[in-house]
Amino acid sequence: MSKRTRTILAAALALSLVALAFGAAGCTPKRGGTASASDTPVKGGTLSYYVNEPAYIDPYNTQESEGTNVEQSLFDSLTAINPLTSKLEPAAAESWKANSDGTVWTFKLRKGAKFHDGTPVGAKDFKYAWERIANPATDPKNPSVISYHLSPVKGFQEMADGKATDLTGVKVIDDLTLEVTLTESFADFEYVVAHPALAPVPKAAVEKDPKAFAEAPVGNGPFKMSGTWKHDQYIKVVRFDGYYGTKANLDGIDFKIFKDEDTAFREFEAGNIDFTSIPTGKIGASKTKYGVSADGYTVNPKTQVLLGAETAVYYMLMNNTDPILKNPKVRAAISMAINRQALCDTLYEGTRKPATGIVPPGIVGFQPNAWAATKYDLQGAKKMLADAGYPGGAGIPEFSLSFNTGQGHEKVMELVGSDLAKIGIKTKPDGAEWAQYLKQLDAGTYQIGRLGWIADYPIFDNFINPIFQSKSGDNKSKFVDASVDSAITDARKITDGAKRIAAYQDMEKKIGEQTPVAPLTFYAHRHVGSSRVHNLIYSPMGLGAFDKCWIVAPAAKK
Amino acid sequence: MLKYIARRVLQVIPVFIGVTLVLFLLQAVIPGDPVKMITGERAMSPALRLQIMKANNLDKPIPVQYVIYVNKLLHGDLGTSYQRGRAVRDMLGEKYPYTVKLAFAAIIIEIIVGIAAGIISAVKRYSFLDVLVTLSTSVLVSVPVFWLGMLLQVFFGILLKQWSGGQIYMPISGAGGLSTDFPDWVYLVLPAITLASVSTAYAARIMRSQLLEIMGADYIRTARAKGLTSQAVIWRHALKNALIPVVTFIGLDLGAMLSGAILTETVYNYPGIGLEIYLAIGRRDWPVVMGGVVLVVVVVMVINLIVDVSYAFLDPRIRYGGAAE
C-alpha cells in the first residue's frame, strides 16, 4: 500500500469515526440538588417531563392533556382540583359562594396576585379571557374548540351565534369580585371554573401580539415561560417568584416534546427525562425495575411506576334507535357477554380495569359495581337474549361493529366480536377514518360502535349529562329517557354537595338498568418517573402536580 | 446554457400545476369533514359551522377553492393549519433549516466516506479492504434505516452511558437547545450517520464499479503507456470521468434528503420538515400537508436543475442548448 493511499484510507476512516468520537466526548450532566434525606424537600433542579406536541398552550384553546399539562403550570384558574382526592381547593379565588339554586356565583379573588409580566390579576382579566374563548370572532378560522366549558354561562349562546360581543353573565363587581350568572342551575359550576382553560389572561399582553402570546403565554401560575415554544422540541418554564401561593421547589420544568412514547421511553432509559408513559410491552419489566407506586399516583424513588385509574371510560355504543338494539334486554345481553377482564389482560397488560359502570374511579363519589350488566356472565347473557325473543341469537341479523381505524380499536372490536359470537350474535367489523366515523355516529347510521370519554371535571355530571341527556350532542347512542333528563336538571339545583352526589349516584344506577351503552374499561396510568424525582403527583385527570415535587440526584452507584 | 436553464425553469410550471391540482383534489375527495378536523368531535351550532367554513373558504366550490389556494400560494401564503391555528408558512419555515442542516451533514458524510471507500476498493481490487467495503455496503444497503437508528440510539445513548458510568454518551433525540451538556451540532451526528448510511453504501458501490470500468478504458492505457504514475492516472484521468454517475446519484440524493427524511427524523425526534409532514398527515391537517409537499416539490425541481447543469462542468462533451457537434 503506497503512502498516499494509506493517507486517503486513514482520512476516510477517521472522518467517519471522528464525528462519533467528538460527539461521544460527553460530560457529566449537572442537574438537580445534592443528596440529602429523601423526605425533606430540596430546592432547585429542573424536572424533565415528556409531552406530545400540544395543540395549544394558550388557554384560548387548551384542549388535550398535553397542552393542558403545560398550560396549568403557567396559569391558575379560579378554583383547583386536588390531584389525589379530586376535591376542590381555592386557587386564584380565595373564596366563592353560590346563591340558593346555584344560578349566581360570586368569586372573591386573591389580593396581590400577579401575572408573570407584573400586572395585577383582577376580575376583569377573567371576563376578558372567557370572552376571548366564547367569541368565535377571536379567530374566525380556528374558533376555540373548548368554548363549551362556558356554555352554562348566561349570554354564551348569543355570543357563540355571533349576536353579542359581551358575555352578559359575567360581571366585574370590583377589582377582586367576579359574579357569574348561569342560564340555569348548575351546582357543580365550581368544578367547571377549575378547568385550566378558564384561567385569566392579561389583555394588554394578548392584544399586543396574539400570535406571540400563543407561543409564550403570560400567565398567573407557579411557573413562567422561558423563551418561546420550540415546536416539536421543547417548552421550557421556570419558577415564577412573584407567585402568590407556595413557591415551587423546582427551578423549572423542561417539557420535552416527542412524537411518540417509544422515543420518549428510550430517552427515559438513557436517563435524560424524568417522567414518561411506558409503551405497551414494557410495563411488566418496568414494574420490576422501577417499583410500583402504592397509591398509583405519586412518584418517589423505588416506587416509580404509576398504575392508578384515570377519570376516563371506554365504552361500546349501541344505537338505541335500532329496531333490535332498542330492546334493553338485547343491550344487556351484549354487555354481559363481553369478558372485560380478558380484554384488559390481553390488550393492556392488566393496567386498565374492567368498567363496572359509566362513571370511573377518581370522580368524587365514585361507586363500584354500579351497573349489574357489566359483570361477565355468559349463561346470563344467553338467557337474557332468549328472554328478549332471540334465543341463541336467532332472528338477529349480522351487526356491524363500527370504529375509527388506526388507534388500536381493531383489536378491541375483534375480542368483542368473538365474545358476542359465543351468545350467537354475528358481527362484522366496519372501520372508518375518525372524521367519517364521527359523521356516522352523529347521523345514527351505525349499530354498535365505540367511544372513549375523558372527564373535563371530576364530577358525575360530566359523564351523565353529555352521554345520556337526550338533547346532548355527545349522546351518540341516542338514548332518550325523560326521567333522566329531569333528574339531571333537578340534581344540578342541589347545592349541598353530598346530597347532589347521592342524586347522581342514584341516576347512574337507574340508567344502568337500561344498559344504553356497554362500558368496557376504565383507563389507567402507565407512567414512570426517574429515581431522582420525589413526590411528583400525576392526577387521575392526567395532570402533573408540580408544586410539591422536588429533585435529588440519587447517590452514585458503588 | 442560459436557454437551457430558461427552458428547464419553464418546465416547472406544468409540474407545479399538476402537483398542486392532484394534491388538492385528493384532499377534497378523501372522506371526512374538514370542519370536524378543526373543531373535534364536540357538537356545534350551524352558525359556528358556517363561520368556520367561510373563514377557511370551505363553502365555495372546489375549483374556486383551488384557484384561491394557488393565488395565495403564489403570494407566499400557504394557508392556516386546521388544528394549530398557525400560518403554515411559519410552521414549515421554522422546521426547514433543521432539514437543510441534516441533509448537508449527511451529504458530507456520503461524499467523503462513500467516494473514498469506492476509490479504495476499486484501486485495491480483491484486497481485504475491498472485501470489507463490499461486505459492509451490502449490509448497510439492506438494513432498514429506522432500525439502524434505534440501534445507534441504544448503543450511544444507553449502553455506552451505562458502561462508562455516565461519562461517555451521545444525545439520541431532538436538536439540542435545552441542555448545556452538548453543543447543538452533536445532536446532528447520529441522525446524519443514519440518514447517510444507505446512500453512502450506494455511492461507494457506484464509485467502485465506475472506476473499475474506466481503468480498463483505452485512454487510461495510453496514459499509463506514456509513463504517468498510477496516482496521476487515477486522480487526473480516471476519477473525473468516473465521478459523473456518482455526482448524479449524490445530487438526486441531496434532493431527496432536502425533502425531509421522514424515517430518520421520526426515530430521532428531529424537528425537520419530514417529521412535520408525517405528523400533519397523522392528524389530517391538510393545509400543512399541502404546504409541505409543495415546498418539497419546489426544492426537488431546483436541485435537479442544478445537477443537470453541473454535468456540463464535469463532462466537456455535454453542452446544453448549443449547436450540435
Cβ atoms of A340 and A354 within 8 Å: the answer is yes
In angstroms, the separation between the Cα of residue A174 and the nearest Cα of chain B is: 33
Whole-angstrom distance, CA of residue A237 vs CA of residue A57: 12
Tell me which of A50, A51, A158, A272 to substitute to probe the interface with B (most B C-beta atoms closer than 10 Å). A272
Question: Of all residues in chain A, what percent are helix, strand and coil, respectively (each to 5)?
Answer: 35, 20, 45
Please indicate whether, in this complex, the C-beta atoms of A26 and B181 are within 8 angstroms of each other. yes
Tell whether B31 lies on the interface with A, counting CB pairs under 8 A: yes
B165 and B228 belong to one structural domain = yes
Q: Any idea where the domains of chain A sit in the sequence?
A: 6-251, 309-524
Q: What is the pLDDT of residue B135?
A: 93
Q: Which of B129, B110, B104, B139 has the alpha carbon at shortest distance from B257?
A: B104
Please indicate whether, in this complex, the C-beta atoms of B276 and A232 are within 8 angstroms of each other. yes
B265 and B214 belong to one structural domain = yes
B133 and B70 belong to one structural domain = no
Cβ atoms of A162 and A137 within 8 Å: the answer is yes
Q: What is the pLDDT of residue B312?
A: 66
Please indicate whether, in this complex, the C-beta atoms of A266 and B160 are within 8 angstroms of each other. no
Please indicate whether, in this complex, the C-beta atoms of A256 and B178 are within 8 angstroms of each other. yes
Sequence-ordered alpha helix ranges (H) in chain B: 2-29, 34-39, 46-55, 62-74, 88-109, 115-123, 128-142, 145-152, 160-163, 186-215, 218-225, 230-232, 239-258, 262-267, 273-282, 286-314
In angstroms, the separation between the Cα of residue A244 and the nearest Cα of chain B is: 28
Residue A516 backbone class (left: φ over 0; alpha: ψ -120 to 50; beta: rest)? alpha
Helix (H, G, I), strand (E, B) or coil at A330: helix
Annotate A131-195 with three-state secondary structure.
HHHHCCCCCCCCCCCCHHHHCCECCHHHHHCCCCCCCCCEEEEECCEEEEEECCCCCCHHHHCCC
Instruction: Name chain B contacts of A161, Cβ cutoff 8 Å.
Output: 45, 47-48
Please indicate whether, in this complex, the C-beta atoms of A271 and B170 are within 8 angstroms of each other. no
Q: What is the pLDDT of residue A18?
A: 36
| pLDDT band, residue B56 (cuts 50/70/90) | confident
Count Cβ–Cβ pairs < 8 Å, chain A vs chain B.
Answer: 195
Burial of residue A508 (number of CB atoms within 10 Å: 0-12, 13-18, 19+):
buried
B125 and B252 belong to one structural domain = yes
pLDDT digits (tens, 9 = 90+) for A280-300: 889 999 999 999 999 999 999
Residue B39 backbone class (left: φ over 0; alpha: ψ -120 to 50; beta: rest)? alpha
Please indicate whether, in this complex, the C-beta atoms of B161 and A56 are within 8 angstroms of each other. no
Instruction: Name chain A contacts of B239, Cβ cutoff 8 Å.
Output: none
Tell me which of B179, B199, B211, B231 to substitute to probe the interface with A (most A C-beta atoms closer than 10 Å). B179
Please, which residues have CB within 8 angstroms of residue A497's CB and are 6 or more apart in sequence?
A187
Q: What is the pLDDT of residue B13?
A: 84
In angstroms, the separation between the Cα of residue A410 and the nearest Cα of chain B is: 17
Please, which residues have CB within 8 angstroms of residue A234's CB and are 6 or more apart in sequence?
A254, A255, A256, A257, B174, B177, B178
Helix (H, G, I), strand (E, B) or coil at B135: helix
**Angle formed by the axes of helices B128-142 and B186-215, nearest 10°:** 120
Our count of domains for chain B comes to 2
Whole-angstrom distance, CA of residue B183 vs CA of residue A309: 41
Whole-angstrom distance, CA of residue A67 vs CA of residue B78: 25
Question: In this structure, which long-range contacts are made by residues A464-468, counting pairs with CB atoms below 8 Å and at least 24 apart in sequence?
Answer: A464/A358, A464/A359, A464/A488, A464/A504, A464/A507, A464/A508, A464/A511, A467/A358, A467/A517, A468/A511, A468/A516
Domain boundary among B26, B45, B77: B77
- The DSSP-derived string for B65-112 is HHHHHHHHHHTT---B-TTT-SBHHHHHHHHHHHHHHHHHHHHHHIII
B172 and B308 belong to one structural domain = yes
Please indicate whether, in this complex, the C-beta atoms of B120 and A438 are within 8 angstroms of each other. no
Using only the alpha carbons of chain A, give its radius of gyration. Answer: 26
| Cell numbers standing for residue A533 | 424525582
Residues of chain A with pLDDT under 70: 1-38, 554-558
Look at residue B5 and tell me if it is in a domain: no
Q: What is the pLDDT of residue A380?
A: 96
Q: Which of A242, A199, A217, A237 has the alpha carbon at shortest distance from A92?
A: A199
Specify the DSSP element, H or E, that contains A275: strand A275-277
Please indicate whether, in this complex, the C-beta atoms of B123 and A5 are within 8 angstroms of each other. yes
Interface of B with A in 139-168 (CB under 8 A): 150, 153-154, 156-158, 160-161, 165-168
Q: Which of A447, A456, A464, A458 has the alpha carbon at shortest distance from A358?
A: A464
Instruction: Name chain B contacts of A234, Cβ cutoff 8 Å.
Output: 174, 177-178
In angstroms, the separation between the Cα of residue B311 and the nearest Cα of chain A is: 26
In angstroms, the separation between the Cα of residue B156 and the nearest Cα of chain A is: 8
Q: What is the pLDDT of residue A43?
A: 92
Whole-angstrom distance, CA of residue A239 vs CA of residue A248: 7
Among A61, A234, A269, whose Cβ lies nearest the Cβ of B85?
A61
Q: Which CATH number fits domain A309-524: 1.10.8.100, 3.40.640.10, 3.10.105.10, 3.30.390.30?
A: 3.10.105.10
Look at residue B8 and tell me if it is in a domain: no
User: Tell me, what's the ipTM?
Assistant: 0.84
Look at residue B14 and tell me if it is in a domain: no
Does residue B259 surpass a pLDDT of 60?
yes
| Cell numbers standing for residue B26 | 385528493
B54 and B147 belong to one structural domain = no
Among A24, A63, A266, whose Cβ lies nearest the Cβ of B168?
A24
Q: A284 has which bridge partners?
A: none
Q: What is the pLDDT of residue A419?
A: 96
Does residue B193 surpass a pLDDT of 90?
yes
B229 and B102 belong to one structural domain = yes
Residue B73: which domain range? 34-77
Q: For the stretch B201-235, what's the b/e string if a residue is b when 16 or more beta carbons lie within 10 angstroms of its beta carbon? A: bbbbbbbbebbbebbeeeebeebeeeeeeeeebbe
Please indicate whether, in this complex, the C-beta atoms of A233 and B174 are within 8 angstroms of each other. yes
Please, which residues have CB within 8 angstroms of residue A5's CB and are 6 or more apart in sequence?
B120, B123, B124
B67 and B155 belong to one structural domain = no
Among B32, B56, B170, whose Cβ lies nearest the Cβ of A23?
B170
| Cell numbers standing for residue B7 | 427552458
Q: Which of A511, A519, A66 has the alpha carbon at shortest distance from A313?
A: A519
Chain A residue with CA closest to B276: the answer is A232
Whole-angstrom distance, CA of residue A283 vs CA of residue B116: 46
Dihedral through CA A503, CA A508, CA A514, CA A518, nearest 10? Answer: 170
Please indicate whether, in this complex, the C-beta atoms of A61 and B31 are within 8 angstroms of each other. no
Whole-angstrom distance, CA of residue A543 vs CA of residue A66: 9
Whole-angstrom distance, CA of residue A548 vs CA of residue A74: 15
Helix (H, G, I), strand (E, B) or coil at B300: helix
Cβ atoms of B37 and B285 within 8 Å: the answer is yes
Chain A residue with CA closest to B46: the answer is A161
Question: Regarding the domain delimited by A6-251, which CATH topology (the fold level of the hierarchy) does it fall under?
Answer: D-Maltodextrin-Binding Protein; domain 2 (3.40.190)
Look at residue B46 and tell me if it is in a domain: yes
Please indicate whether, in this complex, the C-beta atoms of A435 and B32 are within 8 angstroms of each other. yes
Whole-angstrom distance, CA of residue A48 vs CA of residue A252: 9
Tell whether B263 lies on the interface with A, counting CB pairs under 8 A: no
What does the pLDDT average to over B191-220? 92
B39 and B110 belong to one structural domain = no
Q: Where is pLDDT greater, at A316 or B309?
A: A316
Read off the CATH number of the domain in which B231 is found: 1.10.3720.10
Helix (H, G, I), strand (E, B) or coil at A13: helix
Residue B9's CB is within 10 A of a number of other CB atoms, namely 12
| pLDDT band, residue B273 (cuts 50/70/90) | very high
Please indicate whether, in this complex, the C-beta atoms of A142 and B85 are within 8 angstroms of each other. yes
Whole-angstrom distance, CA of residue A545 vs CA of residue B62: 48
Does residue B148 surpass a pLDDT of 80?
yes
Tell me how far CA of residue A168 lies from CA of A101, A154, A178, A191, in angstroms. Answer: 19, 6, 12, 21
Using only the alpha carbons of chain B, give its radius of gyration. Answer: 25
Dihedral (CA of B316, B318, B323, B325) sign: positive
B40 and B133 belong to one structural domain = no
Tell whether B184 lies on the interface with A, counting CB pairs under 8 A: no
Q: What is the pLDDT of residue B52?
A: 85
Looking at chain A, how many residues does it have?
558
Q: What is the pLDDT of residue B204?
A: 94
Kindly give the pairing relationship between strand A177-181 and strand A170-174. antiparallel
Among A214, A435, A472, whose Cβ lies nearest the Cβ of B284?
A435
Chain B residue with CA closest to A471: the answer is B43
Q: What is the DSSP letter of B113?
A: I
Helix (H, G, I), strand (E, B) or coil at B59: coil
Chain A residue with CA closest to B117: the answer is A12
Instruction: Name chain B contacts of A474, Cβ cutoff 8 Å.
Output: 41-43
Helix (H, G, I), strand (E, B) or coil at A416: helix
Please indicate whether, in this complex, the C-beta atoms of A23 and B271 are within 8 angstroms of each other. no
Please indicate whether, in this complex, the C-beta atoms of A12 and B48 are within 8 angstroms of each other. no
Instruction: Name chain A contacts of B129, Cβ cutoff 8 Å.
Output: 9
- The DSSP-derived string for A447-504 is SEEEEEEE-SSSSTHHHHHHHHSTT-TT-TT----HHHHHHHHHHTT--SHHHHHHHH
Please, which residues have CB within 8 angstroms of residue B202's CB and are 6 or more apart in sequence?
B114, B137, B141, B249
Look at residue B105 and tell me if it is in a domain: yes
| Cell numbers standing for residue A57 | 398552550
Q: What is the DSSP letter of B237?
A: I
Whole-angstrom distance, CA of residue A328 vs CA of residue B106: 63
Chain B residue with CA closest to A261: the answer is B269
Domain boundary among B77, B102, B130: B77
Look at residue B135 and tell me if it is in a domain: yes
Instruction: Name chain A contacts of B192, Cβ cutoff 8 Å.
Output: 19
Question: In this structure, which long-range contacts are made by residues A40-44, counting pairs with CB atoms below 8 Å and at least 24 apart in sequence?
Answer: A41/A249, A41/A534, A41/A535, A41/A548, A41/A550, A42/A249, A42/A534, A42/A550, A42/A551, A42/A552, A43/A249, A43/A251, A43/A550, A44/A249, A44/A250, A44/A251, A44/A551
Q: What is the pLDDT of residue B46?
A: 78
Number of H helices, E strands in chain A: 17, 24
B215 and B252 belong to one structural domain = yes
pLDDT digits (tens, 9 = 90+) for A394-449: 999 999 999 998 788 999 999 999 999 999 999 999 998 887 888 889 889 999 99
Kindly give the pairing relationship between strand A234-239 and strand A252-257. antiparallel
Whole-angstrom distance, CA of residue B309 vs CA of residue B248: 11
Kindly give the pairing relationship between strand A427-432 and strand A252-257. unpaired
B200 and B245 belong to one structural domain = yes
